[in-house]
Amino acid sequence: MNVLSVYEKHILADERSFTRVSEIEKILKYLAYFLPAEFRTNELSSQTISCVLLLLQQFHTNLLYRKISELPEHEQTLLKSERTLFIEHFNHRSSFFQTSSQLLFLLDNLSLPAEILTAKLYPSYQYDTVLSVESLKLLLRLHLMYQTGGYLPFKNPLLTRDFNAKDFINIYATYKDPNNYITLKKTGKRVPRLHSVPSSFQQLNQSTPKLHNLLLQSSSFHPLGLLRIISNILRVFRPFVYMLLTWHWKRTQLSGNSSRKRPWFPWILTLLMEIASNYLNSKDRNKSSKSLPMRVEAWSNQSAFRDYLTWSLTHGRFFDEFTRQWLKCAVRWVEPIPFVGRFLSVYFNENNYRLENYVS
């Protein structure tokens, strides 16, 4: 028998699969922490292990959604978030959407290990590798925008565990035991018996599909307005533009025509692109729409803006001139504290080395 099939069968043996999966992931994280020191200090080994754990986590997430798909549709809507409904809608519409999402997820998680490996083996091609990866990611994001009619792609375009674990376990337990539900003859729909739920009113309240879950099926996905599409395009192009300018600076530096310090221009240009994107987004006439697609779009834009704030503080010349100095001062303040100070000092030094030498 296939080892993978045995593993899946063991993980999804009963309704407590979520708990079992979470325990496995915690054990693996603890094991990764206690690996020999060379794995923790070696960037390539450390990042490779982190990527493997992320891929395993996504694999487990897909298994859990397969378990959810065994439930009746009206029960699935209770567990799935608006983001999940949005992604599944386009997954059903086009297989290319799902393929592009998977490729984008892989590139996002493998870009840093690929850069580290290139820097060790072929240092002169480090920035070329990162630029190539960013180009592929740009094409995939544009393809996702095309598939969705202009909606901003998620940072992680795959399904995530954003459902309530307790609800999942309780609902699945109801349909695990044949004595707890009956199957309607005409429709084949499974509904729980009254004795299997706390009260008939509670069951009616839970099983009645929520309005936001019906909106995705009853309303069509209209393409976004021109201003919002341009705003999303600016956000999608921003990482590529920064990497392109940084790559150009690195090439001129290697030829001896540029200083060793990272220039301000790429960082400032990306800031202007983010400001322009937010401005165009604010001028969109449909920004106040309460439909599910627009709520997901608004959440995606807010998440992208928060990610940009973190990125802007930890990249480019701004990090060299300001953030690094602030962190050094903070570490000096907490360094005398036993254990905590030492931990923060090591953590800062490792991240400082990564931010100075890698751009992914």
What digits encode the pLDDT tens for the residues 137-162?
A: 999 999 999 999 889 999 888 988 88
Q: d(Cα 36, Cα 32) in Å, to the nearest integer? A: 9
> Based on the number of CB atoms within 10 Å of its own CB, is 25 exposed (0-12), middle (13-18) or buried (19 or more)?
middle
pLDDT at 192 over 80: no
Cβ partners under 8 Å of residue 315, min gap 6: 242, 267, 355, 359
Distances in Å between the Cα of 287 and the Cα atoms of 217, 229, 233, 293 are 21, 12, 17, 11
Higher pLDDT, 209 or 146: 146
Question: Binning pLDDT at 50, 70 and 90, where does residue 262 land?
Answer: confident
Question: Tokens 């376990």 label which residue?
Answer: 169
The upper half-sphere exposure of residue 229, i.e. CA atoms within 13 Å in the direction of its Cβ, equals 13
Q: Following CA atoms 339, 53, 162, 95 in sequence, which dihedral angle do they give, to the nearest 10 degrees?
A: 160
Which pLDDT score, from 0 to 100, does residue 142 have?
95
Which pLDDT score, from 0 to 100, does residue 34 have?
63
Which pLDDT score, from 0 to 100, does residue 279 have?
92
